[in-house]
Amino acid sequence: MDGTSGRDPSWSDGIRPYFEKAPLAALALGISSGFPFAMIGATLTTRLAQSGITKSTVTAFSLAFLVYNLKWLWAWIVDGVRLPLIGALGQRVSWLLVAGALVIAAVAHLALIDPKADIFATAVAAILVGAAGATFDIVIDAYRIELLEPRQLGIGSGMSQYGWRLGSAGAGAVALVVAARFGWANAYLVCAAFALPAMLAGLICGEPTNRRAPEKRRPGLASLGTSILGPFLQFFQRRGAVLVLLFILIHKIGDTLANLTFRLLFDSLQFTNDEIAFCDVWVGFLAFMVGIFVGGMLYTRLGLKRS
């Protein structure tokens, strides 16, 4: 029984929090967070395969994802450096807008490069998209955590996952469909608009009121070393840190390569872009979304352990 209302929470009580302002913002943030991953992942694999690039070269592009794993190197800059002029909007909102603009520019740059003409420039452009997307991720994660109230964390996490999958799958599907009709350059330019939901959410919701102040450090190399190496050293002081790291690396390498090589298989079997967009993108996306929705409702109704 609910101690305040004298009744068990209904299923409508479990659905209502999804439509509050902060969880909806988490959805928008997730959409923008997920789409750069698709632009340098399976979508880029399909583009390269259809451009006649060799399979060994295509799989080497998975290295672009390493940028996401290195984002801790500059996370302290996003957290503590105040931007001039636009910084008046707030630390999180200003970085959200700048990072979003960088993602749009990086995706547009990748759009305008022909892989057949210059594969090296394509690789550099993919890395730039990864770096911009990783920076966007840093700001989005911090903004979402500070925007959500404690009671909204479960729902907000679910909405964020909804958004990430929607952004990743949506951008991937849109790119495939547009590319089949208007070419890959136009497909990437259209998908750059997926950065806008997070930027609009930041402008609408504003700076979080419960923002955690960054730790004050003295300027200089010592501070830089503490910012970069501190979290790294702290992690390896924990018991089993090496095993955890090895597990993550082995899992991510296999998962990433599998996702990329699936598209190479589809291309060799001569599936059309529309068929790939429906079967590979949307079927898996819908199954995943149902699981997130049910999990979020069970968390709200039953709590963490019982759910």
* d(C-alpha 117, C-alpha 43), whole Å: 19
pLDDT band at 1 (very low <50, low <70, confident <90, very high): very low
Domains and CATH numbers, the chain: 20-207+242-302 (1.20.1250.20)
Q: What is the pLDDT of residue 132?
A: 96
d(Cα 211, Cα 207) in Å, to the nearest integer? 8
Tens digit of each residue's pLDDT (9 = 90 or more) over 173-230: 999 999 999 999 999 999 999 999 999 999 999 998 865 555 555 545 555 556 566 6
pLDDT, one tens digit per residue, over 134-158 is 999 999 999 999 998 877 777 888 8
Going by C-beta distance under 8 Å and a sequence separation of 6 or more, which residues neighbour residue 41? 65, 168, 172, 256, 259, 260
94 pLDDT higher than 60: yes
- What pLDDT does 234 receive? 73
pTM of the model: 0.79
Convert the pLDDT of each residue in 262-296 to its tens digit. 777 787 778 888 888 877 777 777 877 787 677 76
Cα–Cα distance for residue pair 187/179, rounded to 1 Å: 5
The number of CA neighbours under 13 Å toward the Cβ of 276 is 28
Q: Where are the beta strands (DSSP E) in 171-279?
A: none
Q: Is the pLDDT of residue 257 over 70?
A: no
pLDDT at 36 over 80: yes
Is residue 92 a contact partner of residue 139, using CB atoms and an 8 Å limit? yes
Could you read off the pLDDT of 65-90 as tens digits, one per residue? 888 888 888 888 898 888 998 988 99
